[in-house]
Structure 1
Amino acid sequence: MYTNKVKKIIFFRIPLSICNFRCHYCYLAQRDEHYQGIQPVMKYSPEQVALACSPKRLGGLAYFNFCADGETMLLKDLDLYVKELVKQGHFVEIITNMTITNMVDKFMEWPREMLEHVEFKCSFHYLELKKKKLLEVFAKNANQLWGKGASINIEVTPSDELIPYIEELKNFSYSNFGALPHITIARNDSTKNIDYLTNLSDKEYSKTWSQFDSSFWKFKRSIFGKKQEKFCYAGAWSAYIDLSTGMANQCYCGKSLGNVFENPERPFPEKPVGCCSIPHCYNGHAFLTWGLIPDLDTPTYAEVRNRTTQNGEWLNVTLKDFFSSKLCQSNRLYSEQEKKKWILAQKSNFISKSIIYKIKHVGKVILRKK
């Protein structure tokens, strides 16, 4: 029997470019391969994925995040992949615009005790929902799942275009979800430093969106643009996996861990990042709140996801308890000597690759000159 404490956090990337929305701020819209309308070829079945991610192999229970390039609930058999993991006792978060009713209906058939292990992060794309007349569908689907035992989280992506509609958005959220939505941060992935996606000054931006009193937004603001210098256990305590192939990385910007679905009888790979290579941990609301950098004082993931209403809380008791745990409670902390070893190995690997790249690059230049 495994304790109700998180052992690993695993993020599933789903290369599905199908979406029923066209949000102007969407990261998918910033890519060349946007909206191709292609279902990914899934190399591994739900049962095979569950076997590769069993509590026995991982050493305990994990948090799994399902997020597609497009709309996650448009993935064929999404419910089956989630179900096989939940049956093992794991906890799952699904990122969705909450308008794919036929997939919602499949989850509604689950028993309460299974839904209590699932949280739906409902992306509240207000302008698209309003334009497509889907606001009531969004609210109905979210509340049905919450009423059946699942946890929900209502989250708004702040955009300059949304500002004139803030008051009506707030009223709708109070009326339908009993609280204001949480606020995330829209980022510009095309910029070197992964900047804010806004034309507002920092002061105007803060004044506009702080009125939602979102703990999620406050924490993201506190780490946005700040280089993380302390030792990070991403790659040892976390993995970023392509659900369609099993190919994994340490985190969104980390090195390869290989195919983690291919040989489930082997130990799950553990190779910590050590020193982060990117300007800032732009999805630190998850990586850092779960505790990938134990020396960093952060709220729990439950604290940045939950809201209290007159009728209860967005997170159910079982899931809230799990989301309140930290990775250091179930994993061994490295000694200072071990940390140095991993950091040196990472630097050596980087230098070796840089030398190889330069040799190849210089060789090509010489050949071109000849």
Structure 2
Amino acid sequence: MDRNRIKRIITVYVPGHLCNLRCSYCYVTECLKYSMDGHAQFNYSVEHMIKAFEPARLGGIAYIVVIGEGETLFPPEVIPFVKGLLHQGHVVEVVTNNTLDDRIGQLLDIPQEDLKHLIVKCSLHWLELKRLNKVNSYFENIRRIVAAGASAYPFLVICEEYMPFLDEICDVCEKELGELPACTPCVTAETPEEFLEKGGAGTNPACTTEFVEQINKRLHSKLFEQSVRFLDIDVRKVFCYAGAWSYVVQMGTGRLCKCHNVLTDINFFENIDQPVECAPVGCECGIASCSLQYCFYGFGLIPEVSNVPTYTEMLCEGSNLFNPEIKQLLNSRISDHEKIFTKEEENTFLMDVIHCKNLQIEELSQRMTKEQYAAVKATEAEKQRRLYVERLLGLVDEDRLSYEELSFVTYDTMMYLKYVCDTMPDGSVMYGHIWEKITRGLFSSHTYVEPNYFYHADNILEVEQIQGLSVVTLVSEYENAEQMKRSMKEGDYVACARIQCTQMQTFCVEKGLSDGD
């Protein structure tokens, strides 16, 4: 078996939301803000997981990116897992904030031959490094990784927050390492669903001609240059071999995806004595932009996109932080030694995909009972509720709770939010806080306008009467009407919020609504 050529690209997601940093732009910070349990759970032993990555099963060695949903190196299982993969001959890139000194030391405690295939991608979270006095530690860890024989590099996402500090960041990197950081634009979307399903990806700051010229002039990053180029590629109009030549594996469960949002029914950690067989994504990409999957382009997973540098040329060609063996291994394309479909074969493949889907839809429609159809509709409704809750929480965070902004929020949304809060520690406190901010926003923006009211008596209230009402219509029992009016007139938003919270809780209990109704 050829161990001098990368045959597969695999991303391994490490579960758990624990992190020692609190970057303002990171989803992990939001999770920890509301005390979500961040500990990693694994369904399989480390030994079993390592065996699943045997090169014989994959057709050769792989370029494996190990990245956490929190800080990658927090779960103790990660270090022996990475060491096992390196010992098998794989190239392993570990994505880390590079501040856990002891974990870095443990990672480097392996034979020199294995260290040659280790890459440590050191996310450069500048403001947090400064706040925690970790700048020196960050750069010292990069130097000791490289001195040990592995490869390491600073990696910067060019987000709005870092623009005032860009020169400072570049100067420190040049002083400490003699090199500028690798960088990419900050790809964003309004919601995860928009990014994954609706094609709503953008960048912040926007990649205008002036902005791109500014970054290219200061950082000279070919990775940034190519990432900006890939933003303009419609990923659903090109044929991609992810799935056939690459996988995404959930380390906690073994679930395998062809790419980051193209699911399969394969468990990577089952039947590990059998090769992994998976069809390519084709034109069914599950994300809005493949800009940040630059290694896919560099390794040739989308062959029809021409004139793409190799991954070495994009990332590390002139760098002294990568060892020669890694540069050689990253300097090839999988498309150069794997079968590529002819245009006729591509069309046949895509037609077969459509045919299979039509058969599945027909079979499903024949089998689906009224109850099953109702369950599907309920799932769709829950998804819609979740979108509204995310939008509401965004308004709360941005303090944009005006009458107009809140008009889309219904009591059905608030009931679903209460169900979510009830699953979280101190969720009732957060729920009350949101109601307070809603009432404050309503009354502060409508000082001279009489609010809408919906008064009722317990014995006449029906579910349908309240679920569809917007929260700009204040709901109160008759016995609370005067108290509500008096509290509003006095500007006592806490009292108004308390009436609304109590009302919603009483309403749910008395009507016997189950969770999520």
Whether TM-score is above 0.5 comes out as yes
Q: State how far apart, in whole Å, the 2-side matches of 1:128 and 1:217 are.
A: 23
1:57 aligns with 2:68: no
CA gap 1:170/1:295 in 2 versus in 1, 3 angstroms: same
Q: State how far apart, in whole Å, the 2-side matches of 1:237 and 1:367 are.
A: 36
Per-residue CA deviation, residues 154-213 of structure 1 (Å, 9 max, x unaligned), is 111112221221221111000111111111121224244343342557244324422211
Q: Which residue pairs with 1:215 in the alignment?
A: 222
Q: Which residue pairs with 2:323 in the alignment?
A: 316
Q: State how far apart, in whole Å, the 2-side matches of 1:232 and 1:14 are.
A: 25
CA gap 1:280/1:208 in 2 versus in 1, 3 angstroms: same
173, 198, 212: which is aligned to 1:206?
212
1:7 aligns to what SS in structure 2? Answer: strand
Amino acid at match of 1:227: D
Of stretches 50-59 and 337-346 in structure 1, the one that deviates more from structure 2 is: 337-346
Per-residue CA deviation, residues 1-27 of structure 1 (Å, 9 max, x unaligned), is 424111111110112211111212224
1:137 aligns with 2:146: no
Q: Which residue pairs with 1:291 in the alignment?
A: 300
Per-residue CA deviation, residues 15-60 of structure 1 (Å, 9 max, x unaligned), is 2211111212224456799873422221222322222111111111
Q: Is the 8 A contact 2:170 2:180 kept in 1?
A: yes
Q: Is the 8 A contact 2:8 2:63 kept in 1?
A: yes
Q: State how far apart, in whole Å, the 1-side matches of 2:43 and 2:342 are.
A: 39
Q: Which residue pairs with 2:184 in the alignment?
A: 184
2:298 aligns to what SS in structure 1? Answer: coil
Q: Which residue pairs with 2:486 in the alignment?
A: none
Q: Which residue pairs with 2:274 in the alignment?
A: 266
1:264 aligns to what SS in structure 2? Answer: coil
CA gap 1:18/1:357 in 2 versus in 1, 3 angstroms: farther
2:155 aligns to what SS in structure 1? Answer: strand
Q: Is the 8 A contact 2:157 2:183 kept in 1?
A: yes
Q: State how far apart, in whole Å, the 1-side matches of 2:89 and 2:207 are.
A: 45
Amino acid at match of 1:146: V
1:323-342 alignment, distance < 5 Å: 323-342=330-349
Q: Is the 8 A contact 2:184 2:292 kept in 1?
A: no
Q: State how far apart, in whole Å, the 2-side matches of 1:35 and 1:292 are.
A: 40
Q: State how far apart, in whole Å, the 2-side matches of 1:27 and 1:301 are.
A: 28
Q: Which residue pairs with 1:306 in the alignment?
A: 316
Q: State how far apart, in whole Å, the 1-side matches of 2:348 and 2:207 are.
A: 42
Per-residue CA deviation, residues 68-95 of structure 1 (Å, 9 max, x unaligned), is 1111011212111111111111110011
Bigger-Rg structure (1/2): 2
CA gap 1:208/1:332 in 2 versus in 1, 3 angstroms: same
Per-residue CA deviation, residues 251-295 of structure 1 (Å, 9 max, x unaligned), is 002131510211111221221111133432133212221111122
CA gap 1:110/1:178 in 2 versus in 1, 3 angstroms: same
Q: Post-superposition shift, 1:347?
A: 2.6
1:93-172 alignment, distance < 5 Å: 93-172=93-172
Q: Which residue pairs with 1:245 in the alignment?
A: 253
1:255 aligns to what SS in structure 2? Answer: strand
Per-residue CA deviation, residues 212-266 of structure 1 (Å, 9 max, x unaligned), is 1101101100011420322211100010010111110100021315102111112
Q: State how far apart, in whole Å, the 2-side matches of 1:170 and 1:343 are.
A: 46
Q: State how far apart, in whole Å, the 2-side matches of 1:367 and 1:140 are.
A: 55
Q: Which residue pairs with 1:364 in the alignment?
A: 374
Q: State how far apart, in whole Å, the 2-side matches of 1:257 and 1:329 are.
A: 29
Q: Is the 8 A contact 1:234 1:292 kept in 2?
A: yes
CA gap 1:202/1:39 in 2 versus in 1, 3 angstroms: same
Q: Which residue pairs with 2:84 in the alignment?
A: 84
Report the RMSD for the aligned CA atoms in angstroms.
Answer: 2.7
Q: State how far apart, in whole Å, the 2-side matches of 1:255 and 1:367 are.
A: 21
1:72 aligns to what SS in structure 2? Answer: coil
Q: State how far apart, in whole Å, the 1-side matches of 2:46 and 2:245 are.
A: 22
CA gap 1:120/1:335 in 2 versus in 1, 3 angstroms: same
CA gap 1:181/1:268 in 2 versus in 1, 3 angstroms: same
Q: Is the 8 A contact 2:173 2:181 kept in 1?
A: yes
Q: Post-superposition shift, 1:357?
A: 8.3
List gaps (5 residues or longer) in structure 2: 379-517
Q: Which residue pairs with 1:231 in the alignment?
A: 239
Q: Post-superposition shift, 1:103?
A: 0.7
Matched residues, percent identical? 27
Which TM-score applies when normalising by structure 2?
0.65
Number of matched pairs: 365
1:249 aligns to what SS in structure 2? Answer: strand
Q: Which structure's residues are more often helix, by fraction?
A: 2
Which TM-score applies when normalising by structure 1?
0.90
